[in-house]
Amino acid sequence: MSRALREPISIFGWPAFLAMAAAVACIGGFTTSAGAHALQPGFLDLSAQPNEVWRVTWRVPDVDGRPMPIQVRLPENCSPRQPGTPAFDGTAWVVVWQAICPGGIAEGAVAVDGLEQTVTDVLVRFELAAGKSGTLRLTGGASAAQLPGVPTRGEILSTYTDLGVRHILLGADHLMFVFALLLLVPDMRRLLGAITAFTLAHSLSLIAATLGWIVVPAPPVEAVVALSIMFLASELSRPPTAELRLSERHPWAVSFGFGLLHGLGFARALIDIGLPEGEVPLALFAFNLGVEVGQLMFVAFVLVTGLLLARLYPLLVKSLRTRGERGLRVMAYAMGSVASVWFLSRVAAF
């Protein structure tokens, strides 16, 4: 086999090659029906104002240019309980109104009608009184909940960690980038260095953007994330030469640079959702932890699936040994094509 493809993904072997091919197919199939980030969570914010008034912000995910068909209901003592018509702000459908809630919202029930028909979640941030905030998450299986008191640190850790895991696993573009790194860097030491650099970079930019130190509009960030996948796909598709590819010569630098951009994408979801007052560092740590856990889950899925496929279909593995270079090229073109569609659609949203 050529130098440029010297035993590709030799760390994991050909079983992993099969699993990675399956992963690309899954990612591609997912994106045709949902898009890279069509399944952003919804967000409900209840901010306490004087005289038993709450400022309500309701953000509904966009689905094919229209708001997702879900509707929020506030506690029964609030008026009005439901919003008016939302307006599109470039990333989601938003409506803001003031509700009068005599006696407060503690122990009141909030619900999202229609959520059980979706695969997304709604994060609820609430203030029982000014400065006393908490969060809870509504899902398709639990679309209504009673507002508790101020959450414990353990509850915040659990909520935001789970949110980070879900964000990375529903972010097909981020998963595809990690997948391309696995294909491009076959040496274990260099691969660990590249993944560490990617993790460090997106952690730094996530924190900076969430705290407002960096302000970048969402469409350019998402467009450059797609561009990063196009770059790695072009590296994979290059014909064998005696010269090392850029990603092989400087894997840490490539991963770090693109990791900064991906971190801005992660931050956008966290900014849209909001952070609990007084527990911002903990929520940031938990969300970032969830992202890392999600990445590890994806890599573990690739490896375990590859081992299972190798045991079940050994003849297929043997056949792929003679077609490795062509298989990598096919996957590179597939990833590049999907990323190109994302890039063009996101540039059009500028």
Residues 38-76: tens digit of each pLDDT? 457 899 999 989 889 999 999 999 888 899 999 999 999
74 & 31 share domain: no
182 & 298 share domain: yes
- Quote the domain boundaries for residue 32: 14-37+171-347
Domain presence at residue 159: no
Res 277: pLDDT:
63
pTM here? 0.61
80 & 183 share domain: no
143 & 285 share domain: no
Res 185: pLDDT:
74
Domain presence at residue 5: no
Domain presence at residue 162: no
67 & 147 share domain: yes
21 & 46 share domain: no
Res 7: pLDDT:
39
67 & 99 share domain: yes
pLDDT tens digits along 302-317: 778 877 877 776 665 5
d(CA 72, CA 168): 26
247 & 298 share domain: yes
Which residues of the chain register pLDDT less than 50? 1-19, 24-38, 321-323
Total tally of structural domains belonging to the chain: 2
60 & 136 share domain: yes
Res 214: pLDDT:
83
Domain presence at residue 158: no
Res 11: pLDDT:
39
Domain presence at residue 8: no
Res 56: pLDDT:
95
Domain presence at residue 285: yes
33 & 75 share domain: no
